[in-house]
Structure 1
Amino acid sequence: MAGGGRLLRKAFPEHWSFLLGEIALYSLVLLILTGVWLTFFFAPEMSEVVYQGRYVPLRGIRMSRAFDSTLHISFDVRGGLLVRQMHHWAALVFVAAIGVHMLRIFFTGAFRRPRELNWVIGVTLLVIAMSEGFAGYSLPDDLLSGTGLRIAQGIMLSLPVVGTYVSMFVFGAQFPGEDIVPRLYAMHILLLPGLLIALVTVHLMLVFQLKHTQWRGPGRSNRNVVGKPLFPQFMASSTGLSFMVFGVTALLGGLAQINPVWVYGPYRPDEVSTGSQPDWYVGFLEGALRLVPPWETNVAGHTLMWNVLLPAVVLPGLLFTVLYVYPFAEQRLTGEWGGEQHLCDRPRDRPVRTGLGVAGTVFYAVLLLAGGNDIMAYSFRISLNALTWIFRIALVVAPVVAFLITRWLCRALAEAEQKRLTRGQESGEVRQTVEGGYASDHRPVTRFRPGAPRRPIGPGEHTGTASQEPSAPTRRRR
């Protein structure tokens, strides 16, 4: 009973940035609920049928059983289109919440000891979530998803020596074959969700074991956590957040159309969808494929398709490798090996890390924009070739410029804060000097701790007031 009581009194920080992980969790719950419902009506088969459903423009068209069942869900099942669109929106929110949550962890240094393992789990969750999204996105067997599968097959074929074997193993025959949708379906509803649930469980167990990080401030240290107790305050606010996530997703599913497969039509290998883009989380791969020039070389009778291998295999591999090893690399380069770190850094206090994070975000943004260069060129009447070269140059120059500007800005903010701490805060009073001029008076910057006298604030500390101090209990770390 005593152990259960301590668990219920466990403190959770109140800052809004700590809710990003909960949004990802509740999006996953919604994905599971809507996904289970969709499995009752979806048929993962590629055998051909003639459509005779309610959508008149496609009547009499030959299509796969998978596409036919998707149209059946959308037009014939009561509430089917709403649930299907909620499922798709929840998938986008899930991946986005993981990404933004990891950005928060990165910029605040919450990946440092003893949380390196949780960072590795988070990166793995991001990879699995993107794979799960691509598998689900490919199941309807419409023209858009079929084009995406064709691109995926091209990436497999770009692998030196083993490319053709990998493609035959995945598709079971010459593209598109008849096995890819059933195989993706098994991965989408069994293997990948099982991995996600297992890793999320381990992630939450580590969060409970290692305790939450928290922002620096009055009464907060490496030895305590200041915030709401798990029961009832945190559970009440977390439950309210879950209802908000469910409600917003339902509104999006009912009001914002997404993935209208009936517009694209069934997949045919001799057709390619135009004017359409993949989901945003794989858009950077699309952009990378469009920016690399058509480089190919022959080595020992094997063709190396650098224009596919570099952007679709080497680049993602390098990006995720950097994410995996960054906590350990930073510890080695900065010498911060000893001691646990439970207080979050302000981004301005870590100018190099913040600069690297902003540079990586800009690099990703350029690739994402490049994935829609054809739409941009058509909409703004710009030369597609000129726009492609602009993105190629920006991919190299923009991250460097972003790093330099961010590092300079962080250092400038730190210097301004140090100057304010040294000179004091303006009092609002103006006095006349003996020379006849005017100068404003300054008073020392102080912070307030309940039950303690005011004292000047030191460099690297935060100002605070009584109203900013949480009233929730403090739990000591073990």
Structure 2
Amino acid sequence: MIAPRIADAAESADQRYLAAKGIRPRLNKVFPDHFSFLFGELALYSFVVLLLTGTYLALFFDPSMAQLTYHGTYPNMNGIEMSRAFESTLRISFDVRGGLLVRQIHHWSANIFVAAIVVHLLRIFFTGAFRKPREANWLIGVLMLLIAIAEGFAGYSLPDDLLSGTGLRIMSGIMLSVPVIGTWLHWLVFGGQFPGEVVIPRLFALHVLLLPGVLLTLIAVHLAGVWYQEHTQFPGKRGMKRNVTGTRAVPAFGIKSTTLAVMVTAVLVALGGLAQINPVFHYGPYQPSQASINSQPDWYLQMVDGAMRLWPEWRIDLWGTYTVPAVFWPAVVMPLLLFGGMLGYPLLERRASRDSSSHQIAQRPRDVPVRTGLGVMAVTFTLVLIFAGLDDVIAFVFAIPIERLVWIARVGVLVLPPLAYLVAVRICRRLQRADSEVLAAGVSSGLIERRAEGYYVEVVQPLRPQTGEEDLVYPRYQGNPVPRLPGDLEVRSPGRR
């Protein structure tokens, strides 16, 4: 009885709005099968979990810095003066049904959301999927990463515990280090001297209203761009510029995507229930006079913390009026250069390569050694700075003088990125030579055959003749099936003895 009613309702809607005409092509949309294209969906589904858990937490959180004396469920904090923000965090953790689980799921989702964006951007960068006509989507992706980091920092600072308060104090110093406008930025966020009375309410408004709205808008625009411009695809037997190969949206890809959403949610729930993260009840409320080792932010801000630890104490006095502290360079200039380079890279590569044509086929990293080397160099630079941000923990655990670790990281941040660039370029060019050998001689079959003259050679599988424009630009291996017995295939070259 239900199915005929649904069919009648769909028929009625189609008669009025001609929905089938627009929906049918969308249902036939094809998505690539390669696993790397799912990182964007991983980010999307972790963001959905973020929204759901964040909405639940917002019902019980009190973003107030008014002071009170705690008398609650957690006995270790009884009698301690704290803000209402920290007290409500304790109440969520110990009194609200499922509060601690939801809070930890929310925190894990934030980490995985940013990580998925980073990996997704790396896939796009290394495969050249940012080239024309998809430059706008690359810019949107970089802006989403920047806003996701800001959103994570705002949420991370809300509990007003000792760890988040230390992070806010560092942010206060970074803002004040900006010449000319630093005091105005500080007033905009803190409303006066640190810590003030308004920073938590303002961060709460940013965290639950402004930044999620901007992220939702960017995600919608990004998905619309991907939907109408189609995905790039790797070259293959059927992968060409004029077609799209993969799985249709309905039903195969829909089932795959739904399964991924369920798996992402299940993993996040498991992490929230089994892996402790940000136990603010161990840190206590923020006190400006207190600090401890292992005061690191979440991983996506770790490189900024590491850069500040490595930068020497160089300050500049301008005309006796303005002072540029040392922290300004690693905490402000370096992130601006990093994100500015990411935003402008498509334009720089297009001008350097003089390539203004449209691209629908993804490149293998080995096909563009310089770009691959630059990406590996940037990743190495980031990893060294993350290592530097953990120097106090490493020094404590392994009983190593922290000064030695600082100098090791300083040398590493200067030496390792260029070395990684050279190694990556060398590997790419070696793989290109291997591809050229395959194109010239054929694919190695792994079979050894004895010749009439008494010597042995490896049987080489010849390639089929290349036809079509795509084959000339992106040669693909279209050989016959690899023979199972010696003598099944004519030897094209003597190969290796």
Q: TM-score scaled to structure 1, two decimals?
A: 0.93
Matched, 1:461 2:480: no
Structure 1 consecutive aligned stretches of length 4 or more whose deviation exceeds 4 Å: 446-449, 457-460, 464-467
In the alignment, is the contact (CA less than 8 A) between 1:51 and 1:58 conserved in 2?
Answer: yes
Give CA-to-partner distance per residue, 1:422-473, whole Å, 9 cap, x none.
Answer: 1223341333475x65433423135999xxxxxxx87842336899xxxxxx
Match of 2:368 among 338, 350, 355: 350
Quote the residue 2:485 is aligned against.
none
In the alignment, is the contact (CA less than 8 A) between 1:142 and 1:267 conserved in 2?
Answer: yes
Matched, 1:193 2:212: yes
Superposition map of 1:227-306 within 5 A: 227-306=246-325
Q: Distance in 2 between matches of 1:414 and 1:99?
A: 27
Secondary structure in structure 1 of the residue aligned to 2:326: helix
**1:172 partner amino acid:** G
Count of residues in Structure 1 that have an aligned counterpart in Structure 2: 459
Which structure has the bigger radius of gyration?
Answer: 2
**2:239 partner amino acid:** R
Q: Distance in 2 between matches of 1:295 and 1:384?
A: 20
Q: Distance in 1 between matches of 2:80 and 2:207?
A: 27
Q: Distance in 2 between matches of 1:440 and 1:35?
A: 62
Secondary structure in structure 2 of the residue aligned to 1:224: coil
The alpha carbon displacement at 1:420 in A equals: 2.1
The alpha carbon displacement at 1:262 in A equals: 0.7
Matched, 1:46 2:60: no
Q: Distance in 1 between matches of 2:47 and 2:478?
A: 37
Q: Distance in 2 between matches of 1:202 and 1:163?
A: 33
Secondary structure in structure 2 of the residue aligned to 1:218: coil
Secondary structure in structure 2 of the residue aligned to 1:132: helix
Quote the residue 2:101 is aligned against.
82
In the alignment, is the contact (CA less than 8 A) between 2:94 and 2:100 conserved in 1?
Answer: yes
Q: Distance in 2 between matches of 1:156 and 1:305?
A: 11
In the alignment, is the contact (CA less than 8 A) between 2:130 and 2:138 conserved in 1?
Answer: yes
**2:113 partner amino acid:** F
Match of 2:329 among 306, 310, 323: 310
Secondary structure in structure 2 of the residue aligned to 1:430: strand
Secondary structure in structure 1 of the residue aligned to 2:65: coil
Quote the residue 1:32 is aligned against.
51
Secondary structure in structure 1 of the residue aligned to 2:375: helix
- Point out which structure has higher relative CO (alpha carbons under 8 A, 6+ apart): 1
The alpha carbon displacement at 1:379 in A equals: 1.5
Quote the residue 1:207 is aligned against.
226
Match of 2:392 among 347, 370, 374: 374
Q: TM-score scaled to structure 2, two decimals?
A: 0.89
Larger displacement relative to structure 2 (299-308 or 158-167)? 299-308
Matched, 1:68 2:73: no
Match of 1:119 among 138, 145, 150: 138
Superposition map of 1:123-134 within 5 A: 123-134=142-153
Q: Distance in 1 between matches of 2:66 and 2:466?
A: 72
Q: Distance in 1 between matches of 2:241 and 2:472?
A: 18
Q: CA separation of 1:119/1:26 partners in 2, compared to 1, >3 Å: closer, same or farther?
A: same
Q: Distance in 2 between matches of 1:75 and 1:284?
A: 33
Larger displacement relative to structure 2 (218-227 or 137-146)? 218-227
Q: Distance in 2 between matches of 1:243 and 1:274?
A: 38
Superposition map of 1:135-174 within 5 A: 135-174=154-193
What stretches of structure 2 of length at least 5 have no aligned partner? Answer: 1-19, 482-497
